[in-house]
Amino acid sequence: MRPRIVDLYCNAGGCAVGYHRAGFDVVGIDIVPQPFFPFPFELRDALTFLAELIADPDHLGFDAVHASPPCKLWTVANRVHRANTATLFDPHPDMLGPTLELLADCPIPWVVENVPGAPMPNPVTYCGSSFGLRVRRHRLFSSNVPLTPPPCNHAAQGQPVGVYGNGGAWTRTAPGGGGVKVAGKEAAAALGVDWTDHQPNLSQMIPPAYTEHIGEQILASLTTS
């Protein structure tokens, strides 16, 4: 029987697919319907579900927890906006803090993902260049299991592409700002995604290669515990 992991704030399943490739059965939890999520899905509040899981982990039958709380509060763009406007109000709620508070009492392996700059405990950084992907998409991961990511390999990657927003692809050259943005099927391929090319989901997607690598380490911890 394969071990089970719950994917909180699951979106369209970038993290879930990686864990499945590593050897987990996955159930997704999100407060928003996720029609492109490729595994069993429950429309639930992630924090409520997590509190129930921690209170009685044997009853729900999960061996590990992954959480990707909404990251907009901690993005560079939002931090720059707050600094420039000198506002104390931020429309993006902090879901990372409450998630980490609950996980402090979690008796099973857990992993939390967020963007660079987010206040994460002892995070490690994953990068698409480490896996031969066209995106860089640096992301932080914290866990109660030691994680060792492969090093970035920017030099071998060459010019990375961007996958963001809901619009189409474009290429810009200096002095107006260089860069390449891809969309749709090309964006999915750049991320290593093969089950959807829905751009709004891809713009938020974690490359499955990240959590496949992490999942293998979590599985190793389960077999040695």
Reduce the secondary structure of the chain to three states and give it as a string.
Answer: CCCEEEEECCCCCHHHHHHHHHCCEEEEEECCCCCCCCCCEEECCHHHHHHHHHHCHHHHCCCEEEECCCCHHHCHHHHHHHHHHCCCCCCCCCCHHHHHHHHCCCCCCEEEEECCCCCCCCCEEECHHHHCCCCCCCEEEEECCCCCCCCCCHHHHCCCCECCCCCCCEEECCCCCCEEECCHHHHHHHHCCCCCCCHHHHCCCCCHHHHHHHHHHHHHHHHHC
**What local confidence, expressed as pLDDT, does residue 58 receive?**
84
**What local confidence, expressed as pLDDT, does residue 96 receive?**
95
**What local confidence, expressed as pLDDT, does residue 79 receive?**
44
Domains annotated for the chain, with CATH where assigned, are: 4-150+205-224 (3.40.50.150)
**What local confidence, expressed as pLDDT, does residue 165 receive?**
81
For 87-137, how does the pLDDT look when each residue is reduced to its tens digit (9 = 90+)?
544 555 789 999 999 999 999 999 999 999 999 999 999 999 999 999 999
**What local confidence, expressed as pLDDT, does residue 171 receive?**
76
What does pTM read for this prediction? Answer: 0.89
**What local confidence, expressed as pLDDT, does residue 93 receive?**
79
Task: Give me the tens of pLDDT residue by residue for the chain, a chain 225 residues long.
Answer: 899 999 999 999 999 999 999 999 999 999 999 999 999 999 999 999 999 999 998 888 999 999 999 865 545 444 444 455 555 445 557 899 999 999 999 999 999 999 999 999 999 999 999 999 999 999 999 999 999 999 999 999 989 999 988 877 767 666 655 688 999 999 999 999 999 999 999 999 999 999 999 999 999 999 886
**What local confidence, expressed as pLDDT, does residue 14 receive?**
98
